[in-house]
Amino acid sequence: MRMSRNSGKILWGLLFLLGAVYLIASKIWSLPGISVFNVILGVFCVWVLIEGIRHVNFWEILFPIAFICILFSPQLGLSAFTPWPVLGAALLGSIGLSMIFKPKKHHEWTDASTHGNSFGSNSEQCDGENLRFDNSFGESIKYINTDNLCSVSVDNSFGATSVYFDNAIIQGESATVHIDNSFGEVSLYVPRAWKVDVNVDKAFGGINMRGRMEGTSTHRLIVTGETNFGALTIVFI
């Protein structure tokens, strides 16, 4: 979830103001069954929901709705549907909508996706400036051999994808890698001399760095995208 510094200040300011209003209102009017903690969490869920709608991230849309239903289930009359049915519906809905409505990418990619049985393992080499790798329900290893790397797109679902950049050369100032990872693991093996900028959204996922980035080169690798219920690992080699 992207959130600027000013947006974060506004969020926390609203949370504290709402808590203050609730403390006063609870003494004037009867507000049964609604705690300050639930109100604060509810406001946070609404904020995440707005961010999810703005960036068309179905994980950040459906799960906040599910948590709001759980937090206020007595008031909404949804006690029979919480917590697991609502969470299960949010999970399946997020997976389905993310598969149907893929974010549009504004690049012409060289299709180098895994062929054959997607439930097995695959290792292949590919050349080109703009590359696209797709992997589902399997293990895929990609070795990039190009003297003019421009951009890479990695789409990984319920599998593991490893991409090696040690034989790739960036002719310009930077190259981009776009990650779309759901319920899987994506590992990027990057020369330690490169500078790496990571701007990846994560919903119930993790981003890990291994090794040491020296950053002695003038070339920069910009990593964007999102990882949902999965892990993105950047290994400096």
Query: In Å, how far are 15, 20, 40, 49 from 10, measured between CA atoms?
Result: 9, 15, 14, 16
CA distances (Å), origin 131, targets 28, 106, 134, 135, 209: 62, 13, 10, 13, 23
Partners of 185 in the beta sheet? 160, 231
Q: Per-residue confidence of the chain (237 residues) as pLDDT tens digits?
A: 555 555 556 666 776 777 677 767 666 665 566 777 787 788 888 888 887 887 788 888 899 999 999 988 888 888 888 889 999 999 899 888 887 876 544 444 444 433 333 334 444 444 457 899 999 888 999 999 988 899 999 999 888 999 999 999 998 888 999 999 988 999 999 999 999 999 998 877 789 999 999 888 888 999 999 898 889 999 999
Q: Which H or E element spans position 140?
A: strand 139-144
Global pTM reads 0.61
- Count the helix, strand and coil residues of the chain and give each as a percent rounded to the nearest 5: 35, 35, 30
- 143-157 b/e with 16+ CB inside 10 Å = b? bbebeebbbbbbbbb
Q: Answer yes or no: are the C-beta atoms of 158 and 182 closer than 8 Å.
A: yes
Exposure on the CB side of residue 220, measured as CA atoms within 13 A: 7
Place of tokens 């003019």: 148
